[in-house]
């Protein structure tokens, strides 16, 4: 049961990330001065894929996948909404903070020796590398903002 709870926590985080990226993309699309949202689309798609992978694994382990992002998702949307009002750089910094938090959560889970192989494999081969790639993309976008 503990593993399903851990996976559902990750699932809620990924659902929250999807919601947050949708919010930022909508903001960037409606405000031409803020720039393009196309750089964020692959990150959104990665989070969508992570949601699907986690839902599948939770079901395979006999659990019920979380249907929503819960309180953390609501909080993330409030924070991101404020960042969106402050502009593109603040929005990107907020996204980057979320990605770093997700990467830390995955890395922390890998330190647990009792993690079953299928969960460890998903984190090592898919979830953590994707988070790290998202951080690099956001680093690049933020560097371009400050030039």
Question: In order of start, what are the domains of the chain with their CATH numbers?
Answer: 2-146 (1.20.1260.10)
User: Is the distance from CB of 101 to CB of 62 less than 8 angstroms?
Assistant: no
Q: What's the whole-model pTM score?
A: 0.85
72-96 per-position pLDDT tens digit? 556 666 666 666 666 777 778 888 8
Residue with the larger pLDDT of the pair 52 and 41: 52
Nearest to 25 by CA among 40, 46, 6: 40
How much is the pLDDT for 85?
Answer: 65
Lookup: tokens for 67: 């249907």
Alpha carbon of residue 125 to chain centroid: 16
Query: Which CA distances in Å does 87 have to 49, 59, 123, 143, 146?
Result: 28, 40, 33, 15, 13
């Amino acid at each position: 049961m503990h593993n399903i709870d851990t996976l559902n926590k990750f699932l809620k985080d990924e659902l929250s990330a999807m919601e947050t990226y949708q919010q930022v993309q909508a903001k960037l699309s409606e405000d031409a001065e803020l720039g393009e949202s196309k750089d964020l689309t692959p990150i959104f798609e990665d989070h969508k894929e992570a949601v699907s992978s986690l839902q599948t694994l939770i079901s395979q382990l006999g659990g019920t996948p979380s249907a929503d992002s819960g309180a953390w998702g609501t909080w993330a949307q409030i924070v991101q909404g404020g960042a969106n009002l402050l502009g593109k750089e603040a929005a990107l910094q907020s996204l980057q903070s979320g990605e770093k938090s997700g990467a830390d959560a995955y890395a922390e889970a890998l330190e647990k020796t009792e993690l079953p192989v299928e969960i460890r494999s998903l984190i090592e081969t898919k979830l953590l590398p994707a988070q790290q790639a998202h951080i690099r993309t956001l680093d690049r976008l933020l560097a371009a903002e400050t030039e």
